[in-house]
Structure formats: C-alpha cells, structure tokens
Amino acid sequence: MKLFDPYVHSPEDLESRIGAIIVKDAERMTHRVTPAEILGVMDLTTLEGTDNKERISQLCHQARFSLVHPGLPDAAAVCVYPSLVRTAKAILSGTGIKIASVAGAFPSGQSSLKVKIEEIRFAIGEGADEIDTVLSRGKLLEGREEEVFDELSAIRETCGAITLKVILETGELGSLEMVRKASELAILSGADFIKTSTGKIPAGAEPHSFLVMLDTILEYLQKTGKSVGIKPAGGIRTGKQAGIFIALLIETLGNQYFKKEFFRIGASSLATEVLSQTGF
C-alpha cells in the first residue's frame, strides 16, 4: 500500500491538462484513431433486468462488425450477466470475441465476500473470459481500506488467469482523492483493468476521474514495469465523447495503450454512431 506517492494534482491542474490535451488533439490531429479502431476496443454491453437469450443473441450478432464489412474488426468483448454467459459463449465460440460478465454483487457491491466469490465462480464456470467486478465503495468511504484490498485480492485469486476488471464507480466516491485511493487498491490487489463506472448511476465516466486513474496506472508502470488496462464506461454515447477519453489515454500512456489488451470502452448506443462513421 506504500508503493504510490501522494497524489498532488488539484482539480484545477487536471482541468488545465484536459483542456490542453483536447486542444492539442484537435489542432495537431496527433491522437486521431479511425472509427474502425474504436469498434475494435468496444465491450458491447447489456445489463438489464429484461435480458434474455434473444437479446443476447442480438448483442452477439451486433458485436460481429466484420459481418457488416470484412474490413472491420469485431468488438473486443460482450458483457452480460452471469446467467447469460453460456448463451453468449455458444454463439461467439471461435470468433475471438471475449465473453465478459459482471459478477460479485454488481452494481452495488453490497454482499458478503462469500456470495461474491460464488457468483464469480459461477460466471467462470459458465464460460466467462473476463470478470467485471465492483469495488466496495461503502467500505472504502468508511476508511476500511485493508478490508477492500483483502476482498479484491481474494477475488483476484478466484479469477486465476481470467481477466479481472475492477469497477471503481467514480461517481459515488465523492472526491478525486478517493478515486486515486480506489485506483491504488484495485491495482495493488491485482486488477488487470480499472474501470470507471457501472453505468447504473447518473454519474458515469468523466475526464477528471479518468485522468486520475491514468496517472495512477502510469506511476505503477514507472515503478514496477507492469501494465494495467483501463476502461471508461457509463454515459459515453458519441464518437466525440469517446475521442476525449482516447486522447487522454494516448497523451498519458502512449499510442501503445490504444489496443484491446489495455483499453476498452463500455458501449451500447456508441457502437451505432461509430459504425455509421465507417461508411457501412
């Protein structure tokens, strides 16, 4: 827990950096990526109480962008509830598209560790390639940092070689300092990705928290040589919105991070707009 230095950037510092990066991106076009490249890092998601096999079949078909045109990449993953993992797995077998599942008392995190682990084991047993779990925000806000770390570490152990994304739910953390602390705990516990939001509260992904998360990943990389991925999700509906997060990513971590192994973007309605920009 002592690996990271105190985070000294103020909201004003972050605002200035965000503005400068957006201006640089617009003027120099240095961080432009194609709509096709954006499609290739998408996690197409449906997490509704009305989800069923038919809806998952539709989602899986939508993720096959290459069926629209052979020159397009497929989505990186589809993300579904544990009960529908088996359906998605059967449809997408052999395509290379990963099956992600929210598990571990999504979206609130308000359950016992035992129950969380059992749900995660179930999702993995059904065929999940990736687990999107939630950090216990209530415990963190009470100052129970070691308990949060231990819980995430146990989840990491349960996942084994399965990719683990830890959702911070930044809109509930109350301050950028707490976003930094949540990022540190998730990374130190072994997260492969840190993710902004569940998409289940009004406050989704926003640039300030995202930049704090990027800074934390960068510091970890500089001190350990280990790379951690990042996923903005929640409320990203247009290519322009997505472009801001991509510009922040590339300016902070470099072009090599803009690939599905290190960057995902949570998408539902975004895919339709980006796909239209490809001309297909």
- Do the domain assignments include residue 3? no
Domain of 224, CATH number, reads: 3.20.20.70
Q: Could you identify the residue written with the tokens 């492969």? A: 192
What is the pLDDT tens value at each position of the chain, 280 positions in all? 679 999 989 999 999 999 999 888 776 555 578 889 999 999 999 999 999 999 999 999 999 999 988 999 999 999 999 999 999 999 999 999 999 999 999 999 999 999 999 999 999 999 999 999 999 999 999 999 999 999 999 999 999 999 999 999 999 999 999 999 999 999 999 999 999 999 999 999 999 999 999 999 999 999 999 999 999 999 998 888 999 999 999 999 999 999 999 999 987 778 888 888 876 6
- Partners of residue 267 on adjacent β-strands: 44
pLDDT at 280: 61
167: nearest Cα among 146, 150, 148, 145: 148
pLDDT at 266: 87
Q: Which residues are tagged catalytic?
A: 132, 195, 231
Read off the pLDDT of residues 184-209 as tens digits, 9 standing for 90 and up. 999 999 999 999 999 999 999 999 99
- Do the domain assignments include residue 6? no
Structural contact between residues 122 and 82, judged by C-beta atoms closer than 8 angstroms = yes
105: nearest Cα among 200, 235, 231: 200
pLDDT at 29: 55
108: nearest Cα among 178, 191, 198: 198
pLDDT at 273: 87
Q: How many domains does the structure of the chain reveal? A: 1
pLDDT at 31: 57
- Do the domain assignments include residue 204? yes
42: nearest Cα among 200, 253, 239, 221: 239
Read off the pLDDT of residues 142-199 as tens digits, 9 standing for 90 and up. 999 999 999 999 999 999 999 999 999 999 999 999 999 999 999 999 999 999 999 9
pLDDT at 228: 98
- Do the domain assignments include residue 5? no
| Domain containing residue 31 | 11-277
